[in-house]
Amino acid sequence: MVPVLKERAARTEQLRQIPPETVKDLIGSGLIRIGNPSRYGGLGVDLDTAHAVAWELSRGCGSTGWCYSLWTVHNWWLGHFPERAQEEFFATGPDTLFSSGLNPARGKGEPVEGGFRVSGRWSFSSGCDAASWAMVAIPGAGPDGLIWLLLPRSDYEIVDTWFAAGMRGTGSKDIVVTDVFVPAHRALDPNRAGDGDWTGWELHRRPSYRAPLRCLTGWDLAAPLIGIAQGAVDELTSRLRGTTGAGRSAESVPLQMRLAEASAEVDAARTIHQQDIREIIDKAGRGEAFTELDRARYRRDKAFLSRLCVQAVNRLFEASGAGAVLESDAIQRFHRDAHGASHHIALVWDVAAENFGRVALGLAPLPVTPRR
């Protein structure tokens, strides 16, 4: 699929959403079902496989890899919800998709008998055009309290606000909800899922459902960024290979050095991602506890590998000459997409670094920052 996605990348940006034929291809491939619990058409593998797919797809189109990664991990998240919500969601089949808007700043939910009364506006809902459900966050109890609420398409409006410099094809538009009732069985406390609330593990017996959900969030965002950076490495390598002779680019030592360093950064980022995800799933499978330092280290590593990827793409963009600024050049798209993806709050270095430093030195961790 990577060459096909690369051919469609410019049109994906023009549409500012994933093209219908690409959504059809992703669903037809069965790849999104990697996130599904087995009883709902899952493929019997875990999230590390979904991340590996996101790396590959993003080599062709960062926006497509991003939406794929989110749709897939969302269907994994769903396994933490009460069983009734899972049955409702998958009633239309195993290829049902949902988007999310998880910054609660402009949303409110009032507890009422049997559930919540919800209104508000949530931004950055990537992949919302192809989704038939959305999940939004409202403030919950406690300083880090959030409640995630699942709503069918009939309960919200999509407002087209997505005019962006990078990740243009993700269609990360606004979700607007006006005085809607959400039943209690479609609510989840993400800070307890896999960390006191064992619904996912009891229903599905999948190792990742024994890990705190919070330890596994954000990796779905870092994975496409690795693929974007790898795509930039691939692009520069393919256009330089074979350009030998006096004054030709392939024989430029500075270019060779930049390519070596950038490819090493991308490989290091992928290794960190693989190692941490495997550690989380293995620890969960053994039923081991996750310390505050573990959690802080995972947040640090997600942000650090994102930093490596941005550095790699910057280095290659700077070496690509004047032609790299043309919209027809793939390098400029990888450059814009890498910066766009890295601005997600879950991947910001300063916050993650401060939090790790605090915990390593025996201080209380920072509050969990809402996704946006």
Q: Write down all domains in the chain, each with its CATH number in brackets.
A: 2-92 (1.10.540.10), 98-207 (2.40.110.10), 209-238+251-360 (1.20.140.10)
Kindly report the pTM of this predicted structure.
0.95
Nearest to 122 by CA among 182, 188, 172, 183: 172
Query: Per-block average pLDDT, block size 10, for the chain (372 residues)?
Result: 97 98 97 97 96 98 98 98 98 97 92 97 97 95 81 98 97 98 97 96 96 97 98 93 69 90 98 98 96 98 98 94 86 97 94 97 82 48
Q: Hey, what long-range contacts does 86-94 have (CB within 8 A, 24 or more apart)? A: 86/37, 86/40, 86/203, 88/186, 89/133, 89/150, 90/36, 90/40, 90/41, 92/132, 93/41, 94/33, 94/36, 94/40, 94/41, 94/42
| Structure confidence by residue, pLDDT tens digits, 99-156 | 999 999 899 999 999 999 999 999 999 999 999 999 999 998 655 689 999 999 999 9
Q: Which residues pair with 193 in a beta bridge?
A: 197
177 and 107 in contact (C-beta within 8 Å)? yes
* Length, in residues, of the chain: 372
Dihedral angle sign, alpha carbons of residues 246, 249, 254, 257: negative
Q: Determine whether 347 is exposed, middle or buried from the number of CB atoms within 10 Å of its CB (0-12, 13-18, 19+).
A: buried
| Structure confidence by residue, pLDDT tens digits, 52-102 | 999 999 999 999 999 999 999 999 999 999 999 999 999 999 999 999 999
Output the pLDDT for position 9: 97
Output the pLDDT for position 372: 46
Pairing state between β 133-139 and 98-101: parallel
Output the pLDDT for position 246: 55
